[in-house]
Each structure stands twice: as C-alpha cells, then as structure tokens.
C-alpha cells in the first residue's frame, strides 16, 4: 500500500511540474511592434510556440492559429534586458540576511560564483519582472578590487538552474575610490590596487601556462582563483570593470592592452571625456544608471552620457546598477526613458535595453529582438514605453505569461 501511495504521489508531482513548466502557445498582437530587427511593424503579430518565437510579421501576413492564447497591446517590444544589476543577490529587505552582492573579507575573490548566491524568488526579481524586464545580468557588485563572478538569468519565477542563460558571464572588478580598502586594509591607493590586479593576472598567466603544458595525468592542483582568472587571460571571460574617473578608465584600458584581455566598462561617468580612447580600444560601455547621484568619482555623471557615447560609435547598454538603500534597485525602463530625452533617439534607447545590451552580454542569439527561433520574451505596453503615463500591461518569458498586472 505504501508503495502505491508513493508512486501515486510521485506521479502527481511530475504532472504538476509538467503543467507548470509547459510553455503555452501564445500570440501577441500590437498596434506597433518594435522587433529591433528592422523597422517597427504596424498592426503586428508575434507567435510563440514551445517557448520560442515562431513567426513575426504584419497581421495581414501572419494568421493566428486556432488554440493560441492572444494578448493585445498598443506597443510590443522584446523583453527588456538590465545590462548590470545586483538583483537576486541583493534583496529588498536591505538587511544582512539578504545582502550577498559583496563579500568584504578580502579585496580579491574571483572564485565567488554568482549562481551560488542568486535567489530566483527574491521579491526584487518579481518587482523588475512586472516592468517588462525579462533578462538580467547580475552577480557580485562593485566595491572590491575583484568581487566575484556575474551571471545572466531570466527573471521567471522558477528554480535558478532552470532560468540561467550564462552561469558565469563576467568577472566583476572595481577601480577607483570604490575599489580601495578601508580601515587600513589594502589596497589603499590606486597604484596599489592596479599592482595587486596585475599580480593576480600574472599569477593566472603562469597557472594557465602550467595547466596547458601538463599532460592529462599530471595537471597541477586546482586553484579556483587562478582558474577563473585564467579564463580571463584566455579571452573566454570579460573583466567587467566598474570605473568612473577618466584617469581610472585609461588605466583599465592600459591593463587590458597589457594582458590582451577583454573588458567591459561599467558605470564610466567620465567616459565621454575619453571617448576616443575607448572607441580605439573597441571596448563597450554599460553606462551608469542615468538618474544616479553625482559626487566623488561620479561627479561628472550626466543624463547625456549614453547619447554622447552612442554618437561616438561606442556600443552602449543601460543598467539599473547597485543601490545601497531601499528599495535596492532602479528600473532600467525608466533609465532608458530619461536617456531618450537626453541624447538618445527612441530606437537607440530601446536598443540599449534590448538588442544592444544582448550583444554586449553575448546573448543576442537568444534574446534582445523579436525574431523566429529566439526565446519567447515579450513586453506589452498601453502606450509609448518611455512616456511616464504608460503602463506595462503584460510580460512573457520563454512563452510563459508571467504578468498581466498593469504597472
């Protein structure tokens, strides 16, 4: 009897899991559909089947099949992408128990994995999801010379492993005042910080060279710190450098050239002052949160930064960034709206939180535009997405309608 009950219970559990995880067949019809893969479509349709986009086009050419659930909106866009945040590691309570974005015991901890600290069911994840943000680049935040790894994940309410796109996306580093130690702990100066960073990169070079040269049965003992930095040295993993002052930006570019590594500039308040050097180095910028506070290293923050970099031909994405106070996160949709009023066109601002962000993050094959074969991630609006009075009326992730609440 116990065996039959156990079997029945297990079968029911599997049935429940299957019903929850199965993506619906969904059609989205919009008065304007911004595909981010060409001109906007007037009276457009997006068909989603088995979690993937099946077809996109004008309603006159794309018939909605029988059995598809249909959602309508004035404006339809790809699911939005927050190019850098700490949501999921930083929680909304702002208490020690839900603040895992920065480990302060050491200035250099590349071995810390974001995926081990991410909470897919954190209230902040739900909060940003309702505003159309379907993908976030999150993880260990600024505040240490090397604070740990980042990850890219969908904001759907599911087990972390089920929604991760890239478990290790970048390695987070900080140069400038925010990366210096406190209470006498190193690094105490900018020169010391860069010397420590260079030392770790040199060690990683040596470790990687020994590992590659050793036969399979005589590999050196694993060193998690050098192992992850070795991926940076090999060009597999970018270094995400949170940096603001012009001289610190130039230092980051200098280190990248010396070690032939890929970097992505993050924040970069002074980036417009050294735009020529950034462009020459071929480095993208995840611009500071548009409405962040100016002061200290960020005294040159400007709502026009994204527009100036875009005009200079530098790849740009926008972020919500890191907040040290409640409610702990900004909404990248609003940041893009401000950028659209200060130098970016509407399409450029939308790109900075969709396909432009996806390209910088290396995930444009899956998200960022509405194209057949890509993930079924869609945001629905009752007006211009960047107008203050507009609401998000629906959100779809991987074919799942995850929100129909007006936000």
pLDDT, residue 7, reads 37
Most confidently predicted of 93-107, 178-192, 276-290: 276-290
Structure tokens at 250: 């130039």
Q: Are 401 and 69 in contact (CB under 8 A)?
A: yes
Structure tokens at 186: 């190193």
Domains of the chain with bracketed CATH: 2-78+393-403 (2.30.40.10), 80-367 (3.20.20.140)
> Can you spell out the DSSP letters for 298-356?
GTT--TTHHHHHHHTT--EEE--B--SSTT----HHHHHHHHHTTT--HHHHHHTTTHH
Q: Are 43 and 73 in contact (CB under 8 A)?
A: no
pLDDT, residue 338, reads 97
> Can you spell out the DSSP letters for 274-301?
GHHHHHHHT--EEEPPTTPPP-GGGTT-
Sign of CA dihedral 353, 358, 360, 364: negative
pLDDT, residue 358, reads 98
> What would the mean pLDDT of 225-244 be, rounded to a whole number?
97
Average pLDDT of the residues of the chain: 93
Q: How confident is residue 16, by pLDDT bands cut at 50, 70 and 90?
A: very low
User: Residue 77: beta bridge partners?
Assistant: 379
> Can you spell out the DSSP letters for 40-70?
PEEEEEEEEETTEEEEEEETTT-PPPTT-EE
Q: Does 159 have pLDDT greater than 90?
A: yes
Q: Are 377 and 78 in contact (CB under 8 A)?
A: yes
Q: What is the tens place of the pLDDT at every residue in 282-307?
A: 999 999 998 888 999 999 999 999 99
> Can you spell out the DSSP letters for 357-370?
HHHHHT-TTTSSS-
CA–CA distances in Å: residue 387 to residues 168, 333, 338, 406:
35, 10, 10, 15
Q: Are 363 and 167 in contact (CB under 8 A)?
A: no
pLDDT, residue 326, reads 67
pLDDT, residue 262, reads 98
Q: What is the tens place of the pLDDT at every residue in 53-93?
A: 999 999 999 999 999 999 999 999 999 999 999 999 999 88
Cα–Cα distance, 253 to 249 (Å, whole number): 6
pLDDT, residue 323, reads 78
pLDDT, residue 22, reads 57
Taking alpha carbons only, the member of 67, 73, 76, 78 closest to residue 26 is: 67
Cα–Cα distance, 299 to 169 (Å, whole number): 29
pLDDT, residue 324, reads 75
Cα–Cα distance, 263 to 18 (Å, whole number): 41
> What would the mean pLDDT of 201-220 be, rounded to a whole number?
94
Q: How confident is residue 1, by pLDDT bands cut at 50, 70 and 90?
A: very low
Q: Which residue has the higher pLDDT, 19 or 181?
A: 181
Q: How confident is residue 327, by pLDDT bands cut at 50, 70 and 90?
A: low
Percent of the residues in the chain that have a pLDDT greater than 90, as a whole number: 88
Q: What is the tens place of the pLDDT at every residue in 348-381?
A: 999 999 999 999 999 999 999 999 999 999 999 9
Q: Does 20 have pLDDT greater than 90?
A: no
pLDDT, residue 23, reads 72
CA angle, residues 376, 136, 225, in degrees to nearest 5? 130
Coil, strand, or helix at residue 13?
helix
Q: Does 218 have pLDDT greater than 60?
A: yes
Taking alpha carbons only, the member of 161, 156, 164 closest to residue 138 is: 164
Q: What is the tens place of the pLDDT at every residue in 27-60?
A: 999 999 999 999 999 999 999 999 999 999 999 9
**Peptide linkage before 327 cis (omega within 30 of 0):** yes
Sign of CA dihedral 323, 390, 268, 140: positive
Residue 387 half-sphere exposure, CB side, CA atoms within 13 Å? 9
> What would the mean pLDDT of 99-123 be, rounded to a whole number?
95
């Amino acid at each position: 009897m116990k065996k039959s009950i156990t079997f029945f219970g297990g079968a029911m559990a599997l049935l429940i899991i299957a019903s929850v995880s199965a993506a619906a067949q969904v059609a989205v019809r919009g008065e304007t559909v911004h595909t981010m893969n060409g001109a906007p479509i007037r009276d457009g349709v997006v068909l989603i089947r088995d979690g993937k986009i099946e077809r996109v086009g004008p309603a006159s050419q794309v018939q909605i099949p029988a059995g598809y659930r249909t959602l309508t909106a004035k404006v339809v866009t790809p699911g939005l992408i927050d190019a850098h945040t700490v949501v999921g590691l930083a929680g909304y309570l702002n208490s020690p128990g839900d603040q895992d974005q920065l480990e302060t015991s050491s200035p250099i901890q590349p071995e810390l994995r974001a995926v081990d600290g991410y909470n897919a069911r954190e209230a902040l994840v739900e909060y940003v999801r309702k505003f159309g943000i379907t993908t976030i680049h999150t993880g260990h935040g600024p505040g240490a010379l090397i604070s740990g790894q980042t990850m890219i994940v969908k904001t759907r309410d599911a087990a972390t492993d089920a929604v991760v796109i890239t478990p290790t996306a970048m390695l987070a580093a900080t140069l400038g005042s925010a990366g210096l130690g406190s209470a006498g702990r190193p690094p105490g100066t900018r020169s010391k910080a860069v010397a420590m960073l260079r030392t770790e990169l040199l060690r990683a070079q040596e470790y990687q060279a020994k590992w590659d040269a050793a036969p399979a049965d005589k590999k050196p003992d694993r060193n998690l710190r050098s192992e992850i930095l070795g991926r940076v040295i090999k060009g597999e993993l970018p270094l995400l450098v949170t940096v603001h002052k012009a001289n610190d930006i130039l230092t980051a570019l200098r280190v990248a050239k010396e070690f032939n590594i890929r970097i992505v500039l993050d924040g970069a308040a002074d980036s417009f002052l050294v735009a020529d050097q950034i462009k020459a180095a071929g480095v993208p910028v995840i611009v500071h949160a548009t409405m962040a506070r100016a002061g200290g290293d960020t005294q040159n923050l400007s709502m026009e930064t994204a527009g100036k970099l875009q005009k200079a031909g530098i790849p740009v994405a926008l972020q919500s960034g890191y907040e040290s106070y409640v409610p702990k996160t900004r909404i990248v949709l609003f940041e893009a709206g401000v950028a659209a009023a200060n130098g970016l066109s509407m399409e450029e601002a939308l790109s900075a939180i969709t396909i432009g962000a996806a390209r910088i993050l290396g995930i444009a094959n899956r998200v960022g535009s509405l194209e057949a074969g890509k993930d079924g991630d869609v945001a629905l609006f009752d007006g211009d997405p960047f107008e203050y009075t507009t609401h998000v009326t629906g959100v779809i992730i991987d074919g799942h309608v995850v929100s129909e609440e007006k936000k």
